[in-house]
Structure 1
Amino acid sequence: MAQHVRDIMTSAPVTVGPQTSVTQVARLMRDEDIGAVLVAEGDDLRGLVSDRDLVVRALAEGDDPDETTVAGVCSGDLYTVTPDEDLDQAVRLMREHAVRRVPVVDHGRPVGIVSLGDLAMERDPDSALGGISAARPNR
């Protein structure tokens, strides 16, 4: 069983700049088959935007997705872990703050994401969430 975040994290996360439009991010999520991207300026992590953020914070509000940037819809209050931290720390952060994804940073620079699905596949692969997370996309 993996003991550290680096053992199960998704490496080389997709990142976008804060001025990237909601439309561009939605297309990137579709093309890369991902549900979240990190928002960064250079090497500085600024936020995380999920597919749900795009829907709830932009589309449902009636905002023009071509004109709305991810800076206005991303989650800015981030809880992060390092690659060398114990997986239990990632689990604690997710529980304590009710988040499904935690950015992984190394010296402040984003290097990965660890998700609830990653943890389920590692810790309980026979669970419903573990099975769903391991399944191929349903396009």
Structure 2
Amino acid sequence: MSLDAIAVEPMTSVARAAHLMRDQDVGGVLVSYDRDLFGMLTDRDIVIRTVAEDRDPHTTRVGSVCTRPPVVTLAPEDTTDHAAELMRRYAVRRLPVVEGDGSPVGIVSLSDLAAAEEPDSPLADIGRASPDR
């Protein structure tokens, strides 16, 4: 799990969130409000719900384009097997990790699972690779 997951508020501009994602080399950010998970914004959300819809990323707010609940989530004590099953069942690459009170604490990505379960796999290698700049 990535404990240093980035969280933004729903009123954050899509452009600001995209800059954060670029700077931190991540494909998704948690969207939270008042310590509760509001949704999750992925690079795909930005492309499909903002760019492809001709919306201005500087004025469009994250809360209007992020994937909203029910977002599939994990609890901190869930196993990697459970995470993999949820990813398979819901066809997602990232799962927010939330405490019982609904507050987000991290994200588990497909490459996190690969690194944990099969550290020598090609997917684990890709997840560890430096980003192309």
TM-score above 0.5: yes
TM-score by length of 2: 0.94
Deviations 1:61-119 (A, max 9, x none): 10011111111111113111111111111111101000000000112110010000100
Aligned counterpart in structure 2 of residue 128 of structure 1, from 116, 122, 128: 122
* Runs of 4 or more above 4 Å deviation: none
Q: Which runs of 5+ in 2 are unaligned?
A: none
Q: After superposition, where does 1:53-92 map in structure 2 within 5 Å?
A: 53-76=45-68, 77-92=70-85
SS of equivalent to 2:56: coil
Q: Which runs of 5+ in 1 are unaligned?
A: 1-8
The CA RMSD over aligned residues, in Å, is: 1.0
Partner of 1:5: none
Distance 2:116 2:50 in 1: 33
Give the CA deviation at 1:12.
Answer: 3.1
Distance 2:41 2:22 in 1: 14
SS of equivalent to 1:89: helix
Partner of 1:15: 7
Distance 1:132 1:88 in 2: 21
Structure showing greater relative contact order (alpha-carbon pairs closer than 8 Å, 6 or more residues apart): 1
TM-score by length of 1: 0.90
Aligned counterpart in structure 2 of residue 35 of structure 1, from 23, 27, 35: 27
Report the more deviating stretch, 51-60 or 120-129.
120-129
Q: Percent same amino acid at aligned positions?
A: 50
Aligned residues: 131
Distance 2:124 2:24 in 1: 21
Distance 2:115 2:131 in 1: 15
Partner of 2:89: 96
Distance 1:61 1:125 in 2: 39
Aligned counterpart in structure 2 of residue 109 of structure 1, from 94, 99, 103: 103
